[in-house]
Structure formats: C-alpha cells, structure tokens
Amino acid sequence: MEEIKCAVLGLGRLGYLHAENLATKVSGAKLVKVVDPMEGRAEQVAKELNVDNWSQNPDDAFIDPGINAVVIVTPTSTHGEMITRASQNGKHIFVEKPLTQTVEEAEKVVKVLEENNTICQVGFMRRFDPAYVAAKKRIVAGDIGKPLYFKGVSRDGNVPHEEFIKNSGGIYLDVAIHDYDIARYLMEDDVESIHSTGNILLQSNQFMKKYNDVDQGMSTIRFKSGAAADIETMRVASYGYDIRGEVLGTEGSIQIGSMRQNDIKVFTKNNQSEDLVQDFPTKFGQAYLEEMMHFVDCIQTGSEPRCTANDAKKALEISIAATKSYKSNKTELLNN
C-alpha cells in the first residue's frame, strides 16, 4: 500500500499526541511536516520526533505536493477555513471535534468536501475506544434487544483556563458533544429533541458567568424512535477523569467504562486504594491511536471513515440545540 505522508497542524497536548503516533506507531503513515504558529514550537517538536520539515504557516502544508493528508488540531474557530483550504488543495483530512462552530459553516464545509472528493474523519475518539467498540458489537448482535435508553457521564476535574473557556463555545459544544455523538452511534438513531440545564457549582468557576457557560450540565434527549437519553457533563470532578456510559435495551443492559487505570483493587490495613485515571490522554490513549490508524487505512483503501463530516455536523447540531435550550430553558427540536 502507498505510504501516506502526513502533516500535523497545531502542536498542543493533543496535537503532539497525534504527531507522536504518526511518527512512531501508525503503520503505512509517515509524518513529514509539523506546523504551529507559536515561535519555536514546531521546530522543537520536529527535533523530538525526527521530522525533517516544520513551519509556523499552515499554507506550507496545504501547498506541499508531497503531503497526502493533514491532521488539524487548531482552535475550533479556524476549523472551517483549515478544512476548506486543505480540501481545495487535494489533502485528505483528520480534524478534531467540533467540525466547526456553527451549523451554517459546517454545511459549507461538507459541500466543499463532497465537491473535492476528500476523505474527512472527525476526532470523536470514543468510537474507537475498546470498551465502546465492544459495546457497539454487542448491541449490533442484538445481545440487549432493542436499545431504549442511553446514559452518559462525562466528569472532568481539569478545568480549562479562562481564555480557553472564552473561546470554547461552552460546555455543551466542548464536552457534551462527545456524549451526543456516541449516543447517536450506539443507539443508531437521530435526536428529535433536547432539553438542557446548567449550573456553576464551584466558587472558583464563577468567572464562567461572563461567557454564559457552566461547570455542570444536564441534557435530556428524545430520539426519533421514541428512545431516550440523559447526559451529565461536569468540570468539577476533583477525583479524576470519569467517563462512563450505559445502553439499556429490551433484553438487557451494557455498562461501558471504568475509572480504573488498571482493573484491580488494592486493599491495605488502612483503606482501599484505587489507581484512578486523571486525564484524557491516559483514558483514551489507545483510542487516539486506533482512530489515526483507521484514518490512514481509509485513505489507502478509499473507505468511508467511521466518523464522517456528516456525523460531526449532526453532533454539532445537537450541541447548538443544547446550548440554545440551556439559555432559553425550553426544549429544542432538531431537523433531521
């Protein structure tokens, strides 16, 4: 198979992880360029990962005829422009969620991708996490009958700094969107309506009021089939990074996820000790690798990614509706 030559745009914590995977772990891929606007960052990463080319300008990746694919891990506000320029320059695209910040921009992006026959995979990594993959297989096999209800829990104690919150789009777009996407995926159903509520629970997070954001949110969902879901989203989990899910069906239930870094229990004379996951790279490290392997394979085989731009647009529509619902305290209907 042809070796896929890749560039990574944006070298923060997640961008670096993707770059490291492409440079050292993804068969069939070669990382040939890293890009970041921060002075010295791209050069530093290039040296660490033994990459020959680096730049502060994304155009250097878009116009390079030797690059087959770009991995976009830049701020959300830049996604639409980055995707459009990459597609128009013949590059296949992996882009972190969300696809864009507005549904209108997402629709334009999807059209550009279709016009240029671009493979575009969006980074909803839970679809590649071993536990969620196993759950999906059991649901498809009919082991729990017809899915009736999804429960999602996303609790994170790593509160982003104020500048991030200011530009994040809010908790429903930044965090809950992962649960909205995995709910659609596991239930194999589209959302008909959503009602969201939110609060600021920690005194240290009161600054979020300035941006009409919250550190605790709840979303109640009704699917087109009549199935239901509720999704809990928090930035107040001091004990660790707690991501769980459950699908209840007519014939049983599947509970997904654990906080344990190693699935063991340790008991001492003083207490019981758990080795708990503390951050997203630890929790989803394997999923990030699997999704990048899948992306490269899709380019090599011409296959459709497991999470397409259209999937991402639907997750974005749910997130936008959830945000509107929180602000209005009314149920929002979705047009599917």
Give the tens place of pLDDT for each residue, 44-101. 999 999 999 999 999 999 999 999 999 999 999 999 999 999 999 999 999 999 999 9
Mean pLDDT of 184-188: 97
Predicted confidence at residue 240, as pLDDT, reads 82
Give the tens place of pLDDT for each residue, 209-248. 999 999 999 999 999 999 999 999 999 988 888 899 999 9
Mean pLDDT of 186-214: 96
Q: Which domains does the chain have, with CATH numbers?
A: 4-118 (3.40.50.720), 127-286+315-333 (3.30.360.10)
Predicted confidence at residue 167, as pLDDT, reads 85
Give the tens place of pLDDT for each residue, 121-130. 999 999 999 9
Three-state secondary structure readout of the chain? CCCEEEEEECCCHHHHHHHHHHHHCCCCEEEEEEECCCCCHHHHHHHHHCCCEEECCCHHHHCCCCCCEEEECCCHHHHHHHHHHHHHCCCEEEEECCCCCCHHHHHHHHHHHHHCCCCEEEECHHHHCHHHHHHHHHHHCCCCCCEEEEEEEEEECCCCCHHHHHHCCCHHHHHHHHHHHHHHHHHCCCEEEEEEEEECCCHHHHHHHHHCCCCEEEEEEEECCCCEEEEEEECCCCCCEEEEEEEEECCEEEEECCCECCCCCEECCCCEECCECCCHHHHHHHHHHHHHHHHHHHHHHCCCCCCCHHHHHHHHHHHHHHHHHHHHCCCEECCC
Range in 32-36, 37-41, 196-200, 272-276 with the lowest mean pLDDT: 272-276
